Structure formats: C-alpha cells, structure tokens
Amino acid sequence: MLPNRDSALQTSAIRKMTTVSETITKKPLAQRLNHLSAQSVWTEFTPLANQYSAINLGQGFPDFPADKFIIDAASNAVLNHLNQYTRSMGHVRLVNALAAHFSDQFGRHIDPLKEVVVLMGATEALYATIQAIVNPGDEVILIEPFYDSYPVDIVLAGGTPKYVPLRYEGGENSSDFTLNFQELEAAITSKTKAIMINTPQNIPGKVYSRQELEKIAEIVKRHDLLLISDEVYEPMVYDQSTHVKPASLPDMFERTITIGSAGKSFSVTGWKTGWVIAPPHLSEAIWIVHQNVAFTANTPSQEAIAVGFERIKKEDPDYFKNLSKDFQKKRDLLCDRLRSAGLNPIVPQGSYFVLADISRVDEKHYFDEKSGVARDYQFARWLVKEIGVAAIPPSAFYSRDNAHLVENFVRFCFCKKEETIRSAGERLQKLKEYLK
C-alpha cells in the first residue's frame, strides 16, 4: 500500500520507535503510523554519501549559492525587522507578487487575497491539501513514479492511494514514459476524490503535453474529481517543451489545486516556502489546515521571494528562461558523462533529475538475489561505496506492486555546480570496468 522501501529498514525503524515509547509510557503510538517509517531514501543515502565521501547526486538540493538579489532581499528583510508573524494565509507582498506573476499563465486574474495560500514548502502545501479534501475511505489516484510524501499524506488523512504507473517500452527521452488513459480511468471508483499529477514530473522529468493534460482534464471533469497539480519544477523545462498549467484548461480552475515552491524556483530549498493557488473555497480549506499546523510560513523568506518575483516582473522577464538554459547545460553535461560511463540516460524534458539505465553493469558486482533487497537499492548502495557517487533508487517512488518497473534505473540530480557534475562524471567512468 505504501511506497516500496527496504522492508528490513522499515521494520527496524518501527521497532525502535515502539521500544523507546514503551520505556516512557505504555500508551501505544497512533495507529496511523503503523505502516510508516522514519527511514527513507533521504535518511539513508545522504549519510551514506557522507560516510564514503561520495559526490552526492542523490537528494535534489543545489550546491551553488542562490542569486545575490534573493540573498540580499532576505538579509534586508531580517535587518528591517520583518521578523514577526505575518498574515497567516500568506504575506501580503508575496501573495500580490505571486498573483501578478502567475495570472497570465492561468489565463485569468488570480485574486491574491482569496486564491493564494503560502505554506512551509510544497511539502506542507501537499499535506494541507490532502487534509483539506480527503475523508477516511476516500481514494486518491497517484501516477508512478510519485513524490514520496504523496501516499503518506493520503494515509495520514485516512485515505487510500491508488497507483497508475507511467508505461515505458524503451526510448531515450522522458516523453517515452507515457500515461495510459484507460488504466487511469480504470483506477477510478465511486470513492475516488482526486487525481494527483506532477508536471514536470520528478522522475523521469516528463513534461505533460497540452494534449495529455486535456485528456486528464476531460476524465477529471467527467468523473467530477479534483486535480492536484504539483508544479514545483515548472521553471525548469528544456528543448521544445513548454509547461502548461492544467488549471488554465477550460473549466479546470474551479477543480484544480496548483502547488509551487520557491525552494525550487530560486534554489533556496532550505527556506521551505511554497504556495497553493486554487479557487477560494479550496484555498480557504487548505488555509484552515495551514493555520493550525504552522499558522504562518516564515516572514523574511516570504518578503525575499516577493522581492524576487517583483524584480523578475520589472527588470528581468527572461529570468526563468535563462534559469532553464543554465540547467539544460548541466543536464546535457551529466547525460553525456552517464552515456560515456555505460549508464544510458533518459533525457528529461524538465525538472533537475535524470534516470539512468543500469542494466549494462554486470550484476555480479552488486546484486545478491537472496538478500531480497531491490536491485536499484543494491546498485545505489554499491555505487556510493565502490564508485564514490550517490544516486537514489527510484523504486522508492513506486508502490510495492510496481517497483519492479524501475529496478533497472537509478536517479541522479544535476542541480549542482558544473565542477561537481564533472567530478562525479569522472568517477562514474570507472563503471566501464564493470560493464557486461
């Protein structure tokens, strides 16, 4: 039911939690935690990378500094005493800037005070959205691979995730991962509340075309569902791809919750500032959850991000186009190094992640069938120790039933300095010694 994770880790983490709580109190933990674990690919692979001094192309956080204008704006905010709680639904300067920035893309005027909520990152936006719309017993359809907090949010709300995997039958581009609309429709039941999509999708970097989104929209409307559209990677699209907002399609704004992240847009993942744009009745419901979880997102970063969007509007309208160009160079560099090392990349149309095919590496070096551990996990652990590069096993973003679909891949991120990608690329060349 929950994401595929190394089951040994999961069980030991739960046992550890139970033992600790038993020494303090005999009262058990909430049952909703029964199938959840403190362990994840993030808690495993970043410490492992540090332990082996590996170059970390695992977790997607930039290792380069954010632009000076955004750093200056944050320090000015702190120095100018913007250090107290701000408006709970979103700092006024930021909601105004977000509405001004996004209205055109939505093809309508976004009301900054009623249709925008600012939260502690897209992560809280996703949590609050699910809490606001999912009743116990409701089903939410996830497209695999999904971002790993989606199914957990649904389970915490008492709902059930239903999985529809992207299908891949070969090819070298993320557009070769396709959504089968019959499968999508077959997953809908009378209990279905919403479909969640992520475009550009982390992973494989798929940017849904207008035609694909129109089909999804048609299904959503015909079955009277909500659409949750996670668009945190919207500023990073490459080649001929264009990001289309599902909420901009006819009659979709009323039923779509669009989620974004300043952490991704401005390379400040530690600021944990994200937003929801949705019609007033949905925005208000999401705000009610946020008001009682965090009350407000932090003020100085909201002020700084507002300054950032205002600056883009007034002085630098091509800012995000140029950002995409910079990331595209990094993408091309990493894909080139992966190809040369024998790990064929699936070239992403968007986001800053790339899937690489590990099937040419001789499994005798890293795979122990008897261990019961998924192939991509075993490869990713071996890669850190033997080659000195950290990547993420993508089956962490699949349900158990579908994890096998991605066992021949690992995920690398390229939101790194060119020199980091070059150094990792050099280390990866050692893989040539291990190819079949």
Tell me which residues touch ligand PLP (CB under 6 A).
60, 121-123, 147, 198, 202, 230, 232, 261, 263, 269, 272, 274
Q: Which residue is nearest to ligand PLP (CB)?
A: 121
Quick check: 143 and 198 in contact, CB under 8 A?
A: yes
Tokens of 281: 């009745």
Residue written as token pair 């990493």 = 334
Question: Closest approach of Cβ 181 to ligand PLP, in Å?
Answer: 22
Specify the long-range contacts of residues 8-11, CB closer than 8 Å, at least 24 apart: 8/373, 9/37, 9/39, 9/44, 10/37, 10/39
Minimum gap (Å) between residue 230 Cβ and ligand PLP: 5
Least Å from the CB of residue 159 to ligand PLP:
18
- What is the nearest approach in angstroms of ligand PLP to the Cβ of residue 206? 12
- Cis bond before residue 200 (omega within 30° of 0): yes
Closest contact distance (angstroms) between CB of 272 and ligand PLP is: 6
Query: Which of 150, 253 has the CB closer to ligand PLP?
Result: 150
Q: How far apart are CA 46 and CA 56, in angstroms?
A: 7
Toward ligand PLP, which CB reaches closer, 121 or 425? 121
Closest CA to 258 of 249, 266, 267: 249
Measured from the CB atom, the residue of 275 and 366 that comes closer to ligand PLP is 275
Which class for 29: exposed (0-12), middle (13-18), buried (19 or more C-beta within 10 A)?
A: middle
Q: Which amino acid is at 395?
A: S
Least Å distance between CB 40 and ligand PLP? Answer: 12
Measured from the CB of residue 156, what is the shortest distance to ligand PLP in angstroms?
16
**Omega of the bond leading into 204 within 30 degrees of 0 (cis):** yes
Shortest CB 26 distance to ligand PLP, Å: 36
Name which of 14 and 120 has its Cβ closer to ligand PLP: 120
Q: Which residue's entry shows tokens 């093809």?
A: 107
Q: Supply the minimum distance, in Å, between the C-beta of residue 324 and ligand PLP.
A: 17
Residue 146: CB minimum distance to ligand PLP, A: 8
Q: What is the DSSP string of 299-345?
A: HHHHHHHHHHHHHHHHH-TTHHHHHHHHHHHHHHHHHHHHHHHT--E
Per-position DSSP letters for 276-292, written without gaps between them: EE--HHHHHHHHHHHHH
What is the CA angle 121-125-131, rounded to 5? Answer: 145
56 strand-pairing partners: 390
What is the Cα–Cα distance from 133 to 187, expressed in whole angstroms?
Answer: 19
CA atoms of 135 and 114, how far apart (whole Å): 24
Q: What whole-number distance in Å separates Cα of residue 290 and Cα of residue 300?
A: 18
Q: Which is nearer to ligand PLP, 179 or 232 (CB)?
A: 232
198 vs 395, which CB is nearer to ligand PLP?
198
- For tokens 């160079």, name the residue: 329
Nearer to ligand PLP, 274 or 345 (CB): 274
Amino acid at position 68, single letter: K
Could you give the 3-state DSSP secondary structure of residue 246? Answer: helix
State how far the Cα of 394 lies from the Cα of 402, in Å rounded to an integer.
Answer: 11
Q: Tokens 């704006």 — which residue?
A: 73
Cβ at position 430, least distance to ligand PLP in Å = 29
Q: State residue 161 phi and psi, 5-degree precision.
A: -75, 140
